[in-house]
Chains A and B, each alone.
Chain A
Amino acid sequence: MNKDEFLSIEGLDVYYRQNKQNITAVQNVNLTLAEGKFGVIIGPSGCGKSTLLNVVSGLHHNYQGKVLIDKHQPDTYSDTALILQEYGLLPWKTVWDNIMLGLQIKRLPKQEAIFKTEKILEQMGLTSLAKRYPAQLSGGQRQRIAIARSLVLNPRLLLMDEPFSSLDALTREKLQEFLLSIWRETKLTILLITHNIEEAVFLGQEIFVMSPFPGTIIQRKINHLAGSYDSRGKIEFLKMTNDLRSLLLGGTKNEKKEYQFSL
C-alpha cells in the first residue's frame, strides 16, 4: 500500500432517492489521506459532508466511484470508528455499557472487554462517570465518552461528523485540544467534518474544502499550523481562516447567482 493513500476516494458520486428521483448528494469527489494524518472536510451546510462520511464508514452503499481504506472497501473494513454530531450514545445504557457495547459487537471475550473498558475510562479520566447515564452528563463529558467508545476499539481510522458543533466555545476548544493529544498519542488517521473555519485550521493538517450541494472537493490545503496550541493568535492562522472563508463564500455566492438566474 502506498502510505500516502491510506484513505483513497476517486470519482465518487453519491445518490439518494427522493420523490422517485435520483438526487446527487456529492459529485466527483477525489480525496486521499495518508496514514496518521489529521484531515478535515469543511463545507457549507447541506453540501453532502455527512453523506461522504457515511460512505467511508460503510453505512451508505449507494454510490459510484472508488473508495478504499487500506485497500479495503468501506463495508469490509472493520478498523473504522464513527463519532456523530449528537455523540451517538445510547441513552438507556450507562457510560460503562455504552463503551462495552462496541467490544461486545466485535465479539471480544468478556474479560478482555471489561479490562479494555476499565483501561480506557482510567486513561481518559472518566472512571467516576462509569455508572452514569448520558442524560446525567454535560455535552463535553458526553463527547469524551463518545471518543472513549471509539478509541476502545483500537481503530485505525476515526471519522468524526461535526463532533463539537453543539458545545459552547470554551468546551469546544478544550475538546479540540483533548482530541489533538489523543491523536498524537495514538497516531490515528482522523477525518473530521466541520463547518467551523477556526476548528478546521486548528485541527486539520490537510483541509478539504467542499462546494455547495451537490458537493465536491474544490480545494485541498496543506496546513502547517495544525495542532499547535498557540497557533490561534498567529497572523498566519487568521490568513488561513480568511482564505477558507473566501473559498466558502465564493461557493455560496455562486450558488446564489445560479438561484437568481433560475428565477
Chain B
Amino acid sequence: MKKKNINFHFKKLDYLYAILVLLLSWWGLSMMINNSAFPPPHQAIKSLLESLSDNLLLHLGISLYRVLTSLTIATLLGIPLGLILGKNSSLDSFFAPMIYLTYPIPKVVFMPILFILLGIGDLSKIVLISLIVFYQILVTTRDAAKNLKQEYLLSIKSLGANSWELYWHVYLPGCLPSILTALRLGLGTAMAVLFLVETYATQKGIGYFIMESLSRMAYDEMFAGIIAMGSMGFVLYLGLDLAEKRLCRWVKP
C-alpha cells in the first residue's frame, strides 16, 4: 500500500515536471519569436480563466459531447463486430477484402457528403468521427480475437461453454487490452477530426472557438482554446488509463 502511494506521488510529480517544462519551453519560444500571434503562457492562461467564465465551457461541453458520443458509438459497433469476425474465420474471409479496401481511405474526405446527407448539425460530425474510430477499433479487435491462444478456447469449450459464454469469458476480456489501446489511438484521431469538423459550418464547439478567435486576431483566446482542447484530450486519455487499470488488472498484477 505504501509502495503504491509512493508511486502515485512520483507520477503526480512527473506530471508537474512535464507541465513546468512545457510552460517554460513555451515561454522561451514566445520570447524568441516575439510576435503577438504567439503569446507567452501567462497571457493564454489569464485568457483561459476569463473565457471559462464567459462561453468557453459551453463550447467545451459541446465538443466533449460530440467526441464522447462518437467514441461510444464506435466502441459499441466496433467491439462486437470485431469479436464476431475474429471468432468466425469464414465470415472474416468474406468481409476482410471490404475492410482492406475501405480501411486506408481517409474518411475525412466524406465530410462534405455527410454534411449534405445528414445536415450541418451534430449528427454529421458524430457520424464522421465514429466512422474513423470505428475502423481502428474493428481491425484491432478482430486481430486480437484471431490471435487469442487456442488453449483458452479449448479449455472453456471442454467445460461445455456455448458461443455467448466464449465471447463473454474469453474473447472480450482477452481482447480488452488491445481494444483499450485502439481506443487510446482512436481518441487522438477523434480529437484531430473534431477540430476539423468544428471549423466548418458551425458556431459551437472548441474548434469553432479557436478558429473564431484566430479570425479576430485574439491570439491569447485562441491559445486558451488550444489549452482547453488539449486538457480535454488529456482528461479523456487519463480516463482510458484508469479504465485499463480497473479492467485489465491481470496484465500487470
- Which residues of A does B touch, CB under 8 Å? 54, 57-59, 78, 80-82, 84-93, 101-102, 105-106, 132-136, 153
Selected A-B contacts with CB under 8 Å, 11 pairs: A59-B154, A84-B151, A85-B151, A86-B151, A88-B155, A89-B155, A101-B169, A105-B156, A105-B165, A133-B250, A135-B250
- Whether A90 contacts B165 in the complex (CB less than 8 A), given A57-B158, A133-B249, comes out as no
Please indicate the chain A residues that have their CB under 8 angstroms from the CB of B152 in the complex: 88, 90
Return the chain A residue nearest B155 by Cβ.
Answer: A88
Whole-angstrom distance between the alpha carbons of A59 and B160 in the complex? Answer: 10
Interface of chain A: mostly helix, strand, loop or mixed? loop
Instruction: Write the nearest CB–CB distance from A108 to chain B, whole angstroms.
Output: 12
Instruction: Give the top 6 A-B pairs by smallest Cβ distance, nearest first.
Output: A88-B155, A82-B158, A92-B173, A133-B253, A133-B250, A92-B250
Whole-angstrom distance between the alpha carbons of A252 and B169 in the complex? Answer: 41
- Whether A90 contacts B156 in the complex (CB less than 8 A), given A101-B169, A105-B161, A133-B253, comes out as yes
Instruction: Write the nearest CB–CB distance from B196 to chain A, whole angstroms.
Output: 37
Whole-angstrom distance between the alpha carbons of A134 and B165 in the complex? Answer: 20
- Which residues of B does A touch, CB under 8 Å? 149, 151-152, 154-161, 165, 169-170, 173-174, 176, 248-250, 253
Instruction: Write the nearest CB–CB distance from B173 to chain A, whole angstroms.
Output: 4
Please indicate the chain A residues that have their CB under 8 angstroms from the CB of B161 in the complex: 105
Please indicate the chain B residues that have their CB under 8 angstroms from the CB of A101 in the complex: 156, 159, 169
Return the chain A residue nearest B247 by Cβ.
Answer: A92
Instruction: Write the nearest CB–CB distance from B213 to chain A, whole angstroms.
Output: 47
8 extra interface residue pairs, beta carbon distance < 8 Å, beyond A59-B157, A86-B149, A87-B155: A84-B155, A90-B155, A92-B173, A102-B159, A105-B159, A106-B159, A106-B160, A133-B253
Please indicate the chain A residues that have their CB under 8 angstroms from the CB of B156 in the complex: 88, 90, 101, 105
Please indicate the chain B residues that have their CB under 8 angstroms from the CB of A135 in the complex: 250, 253
Please indicate the chain B residues that have their CB under 8 angstroms from the CB of A102 in the complex: 159
Q: Do B253 and A92 touch (CB < 8 A)? A: no
Return the chain B residue nearest A81 by Cβ.
Answer: B158
Q: Do A92 and B174 touch (CB < 8 A)? A: yes
Instruction: Write the nearest CB–CB distance from A169 to chain B, whole angstroms.
Output: 23
Please indicate the chain A residues that have their CB under 8 angstroms from the CB of B250 in the complex: 91-93, 133-135
Return the chain B residue nearest A107 by Cβ.
Answer: B160
Whole-angstrom distance between the alpha carbons of A250 and B197 in the complex? Answer: 73
Return the chain B residue nearest A54 by Cβ.
Answer: B154
Whole-angstrom distance between the alpha carbons of A163 and B212 in the complex? Answer: 67
Whole-angstrom distance between the alpha carbons of A23 and B111 in the complex? Answer: 52
Instruction: Write the nearest CB–CB distance from B162 to chain A, whole angstroms.
Output: 8
Please indicate the chain A residues that have their CB under 8 angstroms from the CB of B173 in the complex: 90, 92-93
Whole-angstrom distance between the alpha carbons of A136 and B251 in the complex? Answer: 10
Please indicate the chain A residues that have their CB under 8 angstroms from the CB of B170 in the complex: 90
Q: Do B174 and A80 touch (CB < 8 A)? A: no
Q: Do A136 and B253 touch (CB < 8 A)? A: yes
Please indicate the chain A residues that have their CB under 8 angstroms from the CB of B160 in the complex: 78, 105-106
Please indicate the chain B residues that have their CB under 8 angstroms from the CB of A93 in the complex: 169, 173, 250
Please indicate the chain A residues that have their CB under 8 angstroms from the CB of B174 in the complex: 90, 92
Whole-angstrom distance between the alpha carbons of A82 and B173 in the complex? Answer: 22
Please indicate the chain B residues that have their CB under 8 angstroms from the CB of A54 in the complex: 154
